[in-house]
Structure 1
Amino acid sequence: MPPRKPAQRRHLTERQILHIATLIKEWTTPTPPTWEKIVTLVAQELHHQWSRQTLQSHPQIKQAYENKVATCRSQLKTGKQPPQRLPEHIVLEQKLEQLKNENEELQARLHEYDELLLCYLGNAIRYGVTQEQLEQPLIPPSRQQTDPLLKNSQRKQKKGKSP
């Protein structure tokens, strides 16, 4: 029998970390989750098995685990069941979270553009570019040199004029 290759080590991506944290938050059994159960759940969901230590080393996963254990234990003490969330609410919350993340990314990009604009303006002032020069409209590029259709039409015009 040939020697078995060791399993390849794979690092968790941010997306996988968030997915695992969501799995823990959506834990449905009344008993508190254990790390062994979470490791098997993650292996079933993501088709790769990470160790408890790897999962626990990520703050989002660890926080979700601790919160879920605390809520499960308090539910066992009081006997109250958590209110069931409607699937529509879950979808809307996910959409809201996605839009918030997109908004943050776009605001960061806008901030970068603002900094770039300030850099351009500072350099324009430093090198003596006047406001009138900055406000001049852009000159349209000459497409005759690069556009093959325009080149051909000019050649045809020149041939027509020369005879």
Structure 2
Amino acid sequence: MKRMIMAIAAAGFFAVPAFAGEQFVDATGYAVSGYDVVAYRSLAEVPVGQAATPAVPGRADITVDYNGATFAFSSEENRAKFLEKPEFYVPQYDGHCAYGVSKGGKVPGNPNLWRIVDDKLYLNITKNVVGFWEEDIPGNINLAEGNWPGIDPKPASENPIPNFTSPAPDQG
């Protein structure tokens, strides 16, 4: 009987989606500073050590609320794609810097300092941090994944992104 209860509890646990903690939202009031998270999938990825392709700004009139934050999109098509599978498009660690999480903390992620690894979007905070992140991406992801469960319940970062001006999403 005890095994059956445990099996039912485990099945219920895996059937319920795991919601993340608070999404990082900067002064724009949007997740990922108002950039289109779906558009990253169509941008050219550059080799390690080179500056990332600039992110695509979203529009204030094409949005979705998800994980306690508003996401903006550059097109209705991208919004529809997001609605089909939001967990595929949102950045890891609720938009916080992946290297920061690997070191045990929550700091903002810069939407223009990004990389897709194993079909997951990761953001970092500064160009210098990108250098540290890229020295050992798999190792840093491994550290971040180990740290995230203990960091996740903490409030989202309230720090501004250094050397970054968040444009408000286009009005269309």
TM-score category by the smaller chain?
under 0.3
**TM-score between both structures, scaled by the size of structure 2:** 0.21
* Structure in which a larger fraction of residues adopt strand: 2
Q: Which has the higher contact order (CA 8 A, sep 6+)?
A: 2
Q: Which has the higher helix share?
A: 1
